[in-house]
A = this chain, B = another copy of it.
Amino acid sequence: MNITISKCTAVNGTTGEGKSLTKEERKEVVEHWIKVSKKRLIVIVHVGCINVKESQELARHAQDVGADAVASLPSLFFKPSNIDALVHHCAEIAKSAPTLPFIYYHLPIMTGVELNMEDFSYRAQKEIPNFGGIKFSSKDLPDMIGVVFSGVNVLFGCDEQFVGGLAMGAHGGVGSLYNFMPKIYHKMIALIKQGSLPEAREEQMKGQRLCRVMYKYGNLQGGNVAALKQIMSYTGVEMGPPRSPMRECTKEEKEKFKNELKAIGFFEWL
């Protein structure tokens, strides 16, 4: 089961604050995306939850309403503590949506679960019939290249080192920066394909410049996702305030944030 980027939408993921929604709200959001995408977009539904049971319910729902794939974090309170437990855990969720590819969402910085993905990949391919790949949101590229050579599909999640990720073999990306600066990332992909690494790096550096401003305001707002929403609003797509425990920028912060983005040239990258 193969997936290529820029034709997917990942619904209820981190950036979309899916984990701040109730189960009912999450279902509603999924149904809406499927309706509006009308099969022009591949819809990947994030079903990660506090426990397996609720992830299963969301996976089942995703399949029922016509999603194209299911992705899940590990359970967020009692966490899989070894490969055995993680494979079993993913198998349990995957079998609730057996006709859809199941993608494991590896995001150690937020989940605290940092098991070896190369080892997991060999096991998952054998034990999960509908295993569809890994969304790899870690800077550990040596582990990632092991996943790639195991034959597993990798969607890279660290936009700020996308060039490094592609060079080490990622098949595509799912990230937040693509929402507002897709041109830069398309250019990056084209340049890497041509083997023009120095030029690709110039584009990558733009991502890093954006991130450093974003982290600064994310820190004030209690989370980067809140800052990402603020950036979206500067591009004309109003997102509304984030949910607790994050907060919106104050009026003054909004002004400063915009000026710092201007200073790095952000508005010319759109």
Cα-based distance from A145 to B77 in the complex (angstroms): 27
State A141–B166 Cα separation when bound (angstroms).
13
Chain B's nearest CB lies how many Å from the CB of A99? 22
Give 7 pairs: A residue, B residue, CB < 8 Å, sorted on A: A19-B77, A52-B243, A75-B245, A76-B77, A78-B222, A81-B222, A192-B197
A225–B78 touching, CB < 8 Å: yes
In whole angstroms, how far apart are the Cα atoms of A164 and B48 in the complex?
Answer: 30
Quick check: is A211 within 8 A (CB to CB) of the other chain? yes
Number of residues on chain A facing chain B (CB within 8 A): 72
| Nearest residue, chain B, Cβ from A140 | B139
A204 contacts partner chain B, Cβ-Cβ < 8 Å: yes
Taking a contact as CB atoms closer than 8 A, the residue among B142, B148, B196, B197 that contacts A211 in the complex is B142
B49 touches A50 (CB 8 A): yes
Contact code string A203-220 (vs B, CB < 8 Å = 1, else 0): 011001001100000010
Rounded to whole angstroms, the CA-CA distance of A212 and B211 in the bound complex is: 32
A161, B51: Cα distance in complex, Å: 30
CB contacts (< 8 Å) of A158 on chain B: these are: 142
Set B85, B86, B168, B219: member contacting A204, Cβ < 8 A:
B168
A2 at the interface (CB under 8 A from B): no
Contact A53 B245 (CB under 8 A): no
A 152-180 to B, binary, CB cutoff 8 A, 1 in contact else 0: 00000010110111111100000000000
Other A-B pairs, 15, CB within 8 Å; known A20-B75, A86-B245, A169-B201: A20-B52, A20-B77, A20-B78, A50-B76, A52-B243, A75-B244, A79-B245, A112-B112, A139-B141, A141-B161, A145-B204, A161-B164, A163-B168, A192-B197, A195-B196
